[in-house]
Amino acid sequence: MVTSKDGVKLAVQESGNPNGPPVIFIHGLLGSRLNWEAQVQSPELRQYRIITYDLRGHGLSDKPSGAEPYRDGRHWADDLDAVIQGSHATKPVVVGWSLGGVVISNYLATYGDHNINGAVYVDGVVELAPGQIVDHPEVYRDMNSPDLKTHLDGERTFIGLCFNHRPDVGTFDRLLANGALASWDMQREIPTMTVFAAEGLSKAHVPLLFIYGGRDALVDTPTTLARATALNPRIMSKVYPDAGHASFIEEPDRFNHDLAEFLTSASGK
């Protein structure tokens, strides 16, 4: 466990080569570090020091009550910094899925890029803005319902929307279990979370790779990539035409290969 600036404790796990170049994986809304199992088990990524953690309000990390611990995007940036510092990771590459993209942007805005070697946005949220986020008002309404059945059904629908090709039953059930662990307060506050993408992305000079699915039902890929490129013309992007919002789960071999190439380039090894 590591402790963030406001006292929130974050569950961290390591695998791979303890002496390899570090890479930190940041999961998305309703997830946990278990989302990255296909990367943790990848022979192509085994040479790297793989660090995963549960976001605040998720998994085995603390789930503080109230709005403030989640609404202020700087807390999420502080969490990533706490993981980098607490794990003594020297110049890691950070990889963020969905909400994890917001975490990276807020980190870049708050801390700059001098402590990282690069960043990968995986179907990442750039801004919580109309046009970039696909409209599903009934799903988010149900996820925030005080009725347990409605709430869980909303989570199931949301997680289903992550995929153009749904994974095997065991993987999908584990994703549902992750969602059931997530803080209700956190889920209520995410739509109003402060996002500093304009500041964070625009001042980044490290390599940036955006990997998105062409069939994403939650983030509008063309609009999001256009906005990201407007903020930082140096970004590189790859679109997997048949993948949904979870390209790293739907096409793990392709994703792991593309990630390994980027890590080799960014880390200089």
Summary count for the chain: helices (H), strands (E)? 12, 9
Q: What domains does the chain contain, in order, with CATH numbers?
A: 2-267 (3.40.50.1820)
Q: One digit per residue, pLDDT tens: the chain, 269 residues?
A: 999 999 999 999 999 999 999 999 999 999 999 999 999 999 999 999 999 999 999 999 999 999 999 999 999 999 999 999 999 999 999 999 999 999 999 999 999 999 999 999 999 999 988 899 998 989 989 998 999 999 999 999 999 999 999 999 999 999 999 999 999 999 999 999 999 999 999 999 999 999 999 999 999 999 999 999 999 999 999 999 999 999 999 999 999 999 999 999 987 65
Alpha carbon of residue 210 to chain centroid: 12
The upper half-sphere exposure of residue 44, i.e. CA atoms within 13 Å in the direction of its Cβ, equals 15
Structure-token pair, residue 44: 């192509």
Q: Where are the alpha helices (DSSP H) in the chain?
A: 37-40, 68-71, 73-86, 99-111, 137-143, 148-160, 169-181, 184-189, 197-202, 221-231, 247-250, 252-267
The sign of the torsion formed by the CA atoms of 6, 66, 193, 178 equals positive
The residue written with tokens 């390591």 in the block is 14
Encoded amino acid at 135, one letter:
D
- Kindly report the pTM of this predicted structure: 0.95
